[in-house]
A and B are shown apart, each in its own frame.
Chain A
């Protein structure tokens, strides 16, 4: 989230798409309801009517996988009706920047596409950039009239997204779309603000990243980024998924979102040149680009200590450089093709997660060894004797390492709103269970011993990695928290923030965005265990819900990202009643939230920096030059399995940059064979797959089911409680039917299309499975999902695919 849970109370309009907070984040949802109490309106866009819809002012049923068309049409409506926040768009976004001659978009493709090798589609992105002047700064037209200005290109790009066009794609009728557009359009007023809330309903698509980007573009032209009550707010689905994204258990990052080095980057210089943002305007601070080297060198000092010196380029060559995309789908494809020997699953179960779990199971069978670190058995630890699998044929060695769980250890969790909260251990480990970090520390030290004794390939990073803990076999969370924050190595004190990190080897910081979470002192007082993350102050002096003394949020305890944009050019809040930060001329400093700007920089100073200090442009980007794989502007492409031809450009049905792993194409079916659009989701009573071990929750939601719209049920003779089979080319599930009015027909140019809904939580392991041994064989929903992902992130397309369904037997009416 750019903002945070409590901040949603400040919104005038709440637009929720691809999320169901009332059921999936019920306690966070209290702040949506608080906003409503204060007069806010709420719009819910979802394939399925849920409890979130029930308390919304408008609910619109959308076809799954089409949100980019919906947001595109809203962008078009706002621009055509001149409802955008004019000052904000002109000065706080890159609308005025001039794009290179030759850039264009035609028939579904941006310039530079090369599809000659279908296995490796490419874009030559040289035209996806700005026209530069002789100082290498981007040329601008502050009037936004230049036809090659980002603003005019944006307008042209989205002019195709009429209300009628979006209706033919999304299924949201024109009159209902207009009702929504009017509400949204009002949010372009400087004193109005909309929050945009989403979850994996927007990420789980081949076009997921661009869907989210299209929503962000809408927020930018409405001037809603950086404001309290505004922003782009991803509800995250696991207790510390935000924190460990920050800590870079992600193939493409190092901690703090520093890019993973790529082959060809032989030195830090090469890496910085390729990775750090470049200053593109004379008055852009380019804070990230300027400090990238400080952050990287401090990370290398934290990891490799005295072995990282100026002379060896701070051990830059210790960091492995991946050949290409190495994300989730690629990992299991490597296993599937026999190239992976060993795999660790820590607190997650690929056999439940999928996609295409039958393919995942085949992949696991090809491993030499598999390690599961978990407090409970799961479908991955038990895959070798899963229903239908003969253990004698599975040559994989399996290590089940019992791990402690959250209540048995201290440490910090970072929530969706970036608040890192320190928790204490309530009790010690159960049985022989061990903490995950102790397991990894001991395993690492044992591997180090082997390299010390025997030598081996490039032992340097293993021999030199720091383990500066009182007991290296048993590091304390608090010691690691201090390492993450970082130290001034000369003074031997913890740093107060990332601003003091250096590139000369005199500072170490494991994750620069957490620098300041654990300073040496605060207001002259020493800071104790858990650092500022352990704070429990409940005061809220501004009344805006920042709670700066409760825990700590990254970066720098800032509660709303990009908050410089919450004030106008003179430093006055766009809406004085809901200030983010404000320039106080008497104090000569910014007041309110922790400013995303130099604390004492007078906005009226002619040399004042542009508002978005992290980008080279100094502004937000409506046009993305290099970061998106399939285009600088989001475009709607159909899911890989879809019921219709893409109305925008039938000849370019799917994203041209979709990468298909070998054999996957054969697993796709047509809408003729599989006429129903399927989408998946969570229920209030379960958390992913873990809660299959919690008796109360299993009693509340004992069995898997599929939600079927009334018309389809009637047509197929299905009643609630009947057993049904849902299948496609990849697999099948056999579960109970729940016939419901929550799902219904979509009218796509006169053709009726139906969606069915499938909750995800069941498999062949857990309390419910033990009571239903025969049935549980076909409870893994992700037997159905396709092995394909987003063109950049490779997030699997869990949320949109085609199925067929039939009744198996009658059940008890429910």
Chain B
């Protein structure tokens, strides 16, 4: 990498000492939980909420809130990284893993290599199935032990914490399996198709 030009007089003013290997390049640690979304926050009552898995136009499985709550629940503690540069450490989420969703519809293997997450309000984001299996992705319904607030994607959001956080689509309503990759909302607007924070894949071509 080329030597970066020094910004005259610039110095770090950060108080906290976070191990360098913990925070991906270009990120800074925050204790807030900033909100980022393209439009108004949808308000969805759990009783009106459903979630589905879809393949080639037909449903593989569909759950209402009570049914979804009855699926095996998993709690994970993880760091999250937003493309707008903040990272938040040690966040705790509970929900149903992608693996358990597949099991619930009687599939031992994912039926296609890509997924499009469809969210309330038309937001979409695409993810390779390989990044959801083996505990890497879940549909989260609790944050720090409490229902997820609407502004943060409640009642349920996708959680794929090893990718930039826009991939963890808020207000998720269904996952659609795709034989070929397609680009989601931000991925069609100049953001990176995959979004690995460790490789700083923020924008197209990174």
Q: Do A and B come from one complex?
A: no
